Amino acid sequence: MTATSEPKIVTERLPSASARLSLVPTGSVPGLLDGAWWPRSRDLLREIPTLTDALDACWGRITHVTVNPAHWPVIPRKVPVTGHTVHVGWFADELDSNKVILFSYTVGRLDLLVIPPETEPAAAARLMAAAAVPGGSRTSSGLMADEAMSHDAAEARGREEEWETEGGAASAAGAAIGILSPP
């Protein structure tokens, strides 16, 4: 005799904070992105309900979400949210890995930059503002690359300033012309 059991589907939701979201102002010139979303984790079962709670009232009921699996370890097919179920799909090559697409029967489609949960708040704020520019022509990956380059440049400037304050360039220049006395 074989025993089978039905998997238990948990429909109760854990309490969560509000969605960290920025959207292009209503009625703005369309761009490549409609805003940005900064989830608190990489758990779609926990994050999608928070996102839909923020958007359903002002944008229309979200029915489908499409992600790239590069940054999401588990992609559920369906996610229970307030009053309905959201279907989740994924595309590996066709969808920018830093973007999520939301679909609503009433309004259409929203394309949002996904800011990784571990992003520092200052960088996330810059990315959220850049993604919510009306008529923006930057892609999700383009915005992330720009932020990475500015972060790398700031780190390089910081290392250079630290080197100079510890006697780097000035000491080396002084020693080259014989200004500094030997130790």
pLDDT in tens, 19-30: 999 999 988 888
Strand order across the beta sheet in which 84-90 lies: 21-23, 35-37, 108-114, 99-104, 62-67, 84-90, 78-81
Res 126 pLDDT > 90: yes
**Can you tell me the distance from the alpha carbon of 53 to that of 169, in angstroms, rounded to the nearest whole number?**
55
Is residue 134 within 8 A of residue 24, CB to CB? The reply is yes
Q: Could you report the per-residue pLDDT of 59-79, keeping only the tens digit for each? A: 889 999 999 999 999 999 999
Residue keyed to tokens 């300033």? 161
Burial bucket for residue 24 (CB in 10 Å: 0-12, 13-18, 19+): buried
pTM above 0.95, yes or no: no
Q: What is the pLDDT of residue 17?
A: 72
